[in-house]
A and B are shown apart, each in its own frame.
Chain A
Amino acid sequence: MLYINDLTKKYGSYTAVNHLTLHIPEGDLFGFVGPNGAGKTTTIRIVCGLMRANAGSVQIGNISAAVGSRKMKRLIGYVPDFFGVYDNLKVKEYMDMYGSMYGMSSRDIAKLSDDLLELVNLSDKKEVYVDTLSRGMKQRLCVARALLHNPRLLILDEPSSGLDPRARVEMKELLKNLHAMGKTIVISSHILSELSEMCTSIGIMNRGQLVTAGRIEDIMKKISGGRRIHLRVLSDMEPALRLLREQAQVRVESVRENEVIILFDGEETRLAGLLGMLLQNQVLVTDFHREEGSLESLFMQLTGGVAE
């Protein structure tokens, strides 16, 4: 669906996006993660045609940004991290204006606008002035506006920033619904817990480069928590610790009363062998499990920074 090839953007000597290559398949809900200044917004702005890249290309479906930016604009719905509303303009008129900007007929705008306002729970606010809406409502209106021309790709730049918890939940539900409808969605966000609940795949950017990208489960398994094993024993801890320390692939990380956490570098069969060896040596193991990696820990591990 979205192909970004070797994209580079420089501001003077500062490289905001450095040879970024990314493919987002159709129907995916893709989370774009990275610390401030990682290059997420720059990438999104280039994809939306709001900025020119120094090198590389962007393609949506079979349309390249370089040759058909107007055609490409029809394929993209963009929700920025600001609301961009007018005083003295009603919700219905706001939708009408953007529909006209996409060359839609008044009849189509009226019909689609009604459906979309219902989808975002704003159908009772049609005659209300946009600037009187709450932040959450404005953000939902922005999503409805971005969907008006029925784009194939919806791009949201930090859609939950500045929203209260209730509005965040509503936004999350809305995005889940849109994903279920088959829309391809790209979300840039700092709220990692939300992304891990919603997204089917993620891409982590740091200092303009894509550190990793793929399905969340695969990345977790590959990189983070998979190495850390929690082991609980019923009997004395000493024999268990002695046996573990004898293993070259094991490093004991911490020891508590009846629990030990180890870092294991090895394949699954060797891990099973480790458990078997403990049991053979009469260590009464009551719990032996791999630690689930969180997106936060993954993010910190990959970016070397602090998760927000």
Chain B
Amino acid sequence: MKIRWNPIVKKDLQVTARSMRISWGLFAYEAALALAFLLVLAIIQEEADSWYSDNFYSYLVVLFPVLAVVQVCIVTLIVPIITASAISGEKERQTFDLMLTTCMTPFSIVFGKVMSAVINILLFVAASTPVMALSFVVGGMRWSYLFYFLLAILLQAVFSGSIGIFASSLCRKSIVAVLLSFSIYGGFYVLTALPPLISMIFGMGRNMGESALFLLLNPVVFFEEFFMLLMTGETMFNGTISKGDAGIVTYMLSHYNLWIYVSAGCMLLVSFLFMLMAAWKVNPLHSGTGVRKKK
């Protein structure tokens, strides 16, 4: 069976591969990771003087999570920028109307845009392997962790990418779309953390109910769970919540160690919803008037 490429993905990859932006982007990405690596190494080295000498190597295992977190942060910043300018960029180039007159559905256009951003990010992550591999030299890590990390970063790319594409569908100007996508993204961090925080503050140690379920959609909590699970096996929600602390659903997720998987599922679902909303918004037969300014 022949795999049929989404034409948007193919075009975007062709165009991106020929631009200097990708080269400079890769250079900046590698440079940021290398700097983070050297910085952590320097801190460990400096601190090693006050430790017992045999502790130095055991502390080197923090290199992996630190580099991974740096990558997650970069991806979180880059993907919304790529996708937020995806549709508004097509509108600015006046190519979006042409796409809509073809047989592609608005959803396949939106999906193609998110996928091309995710593939671009995969290129960045793949290019970072040599730097990441340095953290394996010092030991204490399994190669499977790199695979899990790849899956997690893909999820993050899809999640932030779908927010970016949704913002792009709402705005005509790319810069406004980028700002809006960061606002929505920030809103997710804050709004999903608020209910459990309020519950904790005003509950004074009593049962916090199901308010913690909002955290399933919080990327910070997801990555905290992910890295803690990999590094120590002990996390905030992994078998640590007792029946009296929270509601039954939260307790079950914690008890059966399902939190991270359900969180990943929820983030994917929300991503899908954002893409659906973006597709709805860009469909000229659904949204507003679709008035285009004449040159």
Residues in A lying within 8 Å of B, measured CB to CB = 11, 36, 41, 45, 48-52, 69-70, 73-74, 76, 78, 80-89, 93, 97-98, 100-103, 145, 149
Stretch in B47-55, B69-77, B93-101, B223-231 touching the partner: B93-101
B105 / chain A contacts, CB cutoff of 8 Å: 70
A69-B285, A84-B93 given; A50·B294 CB < 8 A: no
Closest Cβ of chain A: how far from B103's Cβ, in Å? 5
In the complex, what residues of A have CB within 8 A of residue B99's CB? 101
State the CA gap A74–B289 with chains docked (Å). 23
Q: How far is the CA of A98 from the CA of B97 in the complex (A)?
A: 12
* Bound-state Cα–Cα, A304 to B105, Å: 43
Within the assembled complex, what's the spacing in Å between the Cα atoms of A110 and B194? 56
Tell whether, in the assembled complex, residue B10 and residue A97 are in contact, meaning their CB atoms are under 8 Å apart: yes
Is B95 touching A52 in the complex (CB atoms < 8 A)?
no
- In the complex, what residues of A have CB within 8 A of residue B10's CB? 97, 100
Q: Least Cβ distance of A162 to chain B in Å?
A: 9
Whether B284 lies near A70 (C-beta < 8 A) is: no
CA distance A51 to B94 in the complex (A): 15
Chain B residues near A69: list those with CB within 8 A: 285
Please judge, given known A-B contacts A51-B284, A52-B285, A84-B94, whether A70 and B103 are in contact too, CB under 8 Å. Answer: yes
- Known A45-B290, A49-B285, A101-B102; contact A84-B11, beta-carbon cutoff 8 A: no
Residue from A78, A83, A85, A102 within 8 A of B103 (CB atoms): A102
A selection of 17 A-B contacts at a CB cut-off of 8 Å is: A50-B284, A52-B290, A73-B102, A74-B103, A78-B98, A81-B294, A82-B94, A86-B93, A87-B15, A87-B19, A88-B19, A89-B11, A98-B7, A98-B98, A100-B7, A101-B99, A101-B104
List of 10 A-B pairs having minimum Cβ-Cβ separation, nearest first: A101-B102, A100-B7, A88-B18, A84-B95, A82-B94, A78-B101, A97-B11, A88-B15, A84-B94, A84-B98
With A49-B101, A86-B15 given, is the CB distance from A100 to B5 under 8 Å? yes
- A98 engages B102 (CB within 8 Å): yes
Q: Please tell me if the beta carbons of B7 and A97 are within 8 angstroms of each other in the complex.
A: yes
Report yes or no: A102 in contact with B285, Cβ–Cβ below 8 A.
no
Partner of B289, one of A51, A70, A98, A100: A51
Q: In the bound complex, how far is the Cα of B100 from the Cα of A87, in angstroms?
A: 20
Q: How far, in angstroms, from A52 to B288 measured CA to CA in the complex?
A: 8
Asked whether B103 lies within 8 Å of A73 as measured between CB atoms, the reply is yes
* B94 contacts across to A, CB distance below 8 A: 80, 82-84
Specify which of B103, B104, B290, B295 is in contact with A82 (CB 8 Å cutoff): B295
Q: When the two chains form their complex, are residues B295 and A101 in contact, meaning their CB atoms are under 8 A apart? A: no
- B residues 69-115 in Cβ contact with A at 8 Å: 93-95, 97-105
Q: Are B95 and A50 in contact (CB under 8 A)?
A: no
Who on chain A is nearest to B100 by CB?
A50
Q: Which of A11, A69, A97 has the most CB of B within 10 A?
A: A97
Looking at the complex, which one of B15, B103, B285 makes contact with A89 (CB distance below 8 Å)? Answer: B15
Whose C-beta in chain B lies nearest to the C-beta of A97? B11
A198, B243: Cα distance in complex, Å: 82
The chain B residue sitting closest to A90, CB to CB, is B14
B289: chain A residues at CB < 8 Å are: 11, 51
Q: How far apart sit A17 and B104, CA to CA, in the bound complex (Å)?
A: 28
A50, A81, A100: which contacts B101 (Cβ < 8 A)? A50
With A and B bound together, what is the CA distance between A11 and B289 in angstroms? 7
Q: Which residues of B are found within 8 Å of A81, using beta-carbon distances?
A: 294-295
Whether A80 and B98, one on each chain, are in contact in the complex, defined by CB atoms closer than 8 angstroms, is yes
Q: Is B291 an interface residue (CB 8 A)?
A: yes
Contact A73 B11 (CB under 8 A): no
Nearest CB of chain A from residue B89's CB, rounded to whole Å: 10
For B285, what are the chain A residues with a Cβ–Cβ distance below 8 Å? 49, 52, 69
Residue of A nearest to B19 (CB): A88
Task: Write the nearest CB–CB distance from A163 to chain B, whole angstroms.
Answer: 14
Find chain A residues with CB under 8 A from B18 CB: 88
Q: Which residues of B contact A41 (CB under 8 A)?
A: 294
Most buried by A among B7, B101, B104, B290: B101
- B14: chain A residues within 8 A (beta carbon): 88-89, 93
CA distance A70 to B283 in the complex (A): 12
Q: Which residues of B contact A101 (CB under 8 A)?
A: 7, 99, 102-104
Q: How far is the CA of A234 from the CA of B93 in the complex (A)?
A: 65
Measured in the bound complex, the distance between the Cα atoms of B290 and A45 in whole Å is 9
In the complex, residue of chain A having the shortest beta-carbon distance to the beta carbon of B7: A100
Bound Cα distance from A59 to B101, whole angstroms:
16
Task: Name which residue of chain A comes closest to B16, CB basis.
Answer: A88
- Judging by beta carbons under 8 Å apart, are B95 and A86 in contact? yes
Complex contacts, A100 vs chain B, CB 8 Å:
5, 7, 10
For B291, the chain A residues whose CB sits under 8 A away are 11
Chain A residue nearest to B288 (CB atoms) is: A52
Instruction: Note all chain A residues with C-beta closer than 8 A to B286.
Output: 52
Known: A76-B101, A81-B294. 15 other contacts (CB 8 A): A49-B285, A50-B100, A50-B284, A51-B290, A52-B285, A70-B105, A73-B101, A82-B94, A83-B94, A87-B15, A87-B19, A89-B14, A101-B99, A102-B103, A145-B98
Chain B nearest CB from A218 CB (Å) reads: 32
Residue in B closest to A48 when the chains form the complex, CB atoms: B101
Cα–Cα, bound, A179→B277 (Å) = 42
Residue of chain B at shortest CB distance from A84: B95
Residue numbers in B under 8 Å from A70 (CB-CB): 103, 105
Beta-carbon contacts under 8 Å, B203-223 to A? none
Q: Across the interface, name the chain B residue whose C-beta is closest to A89.
A: B15
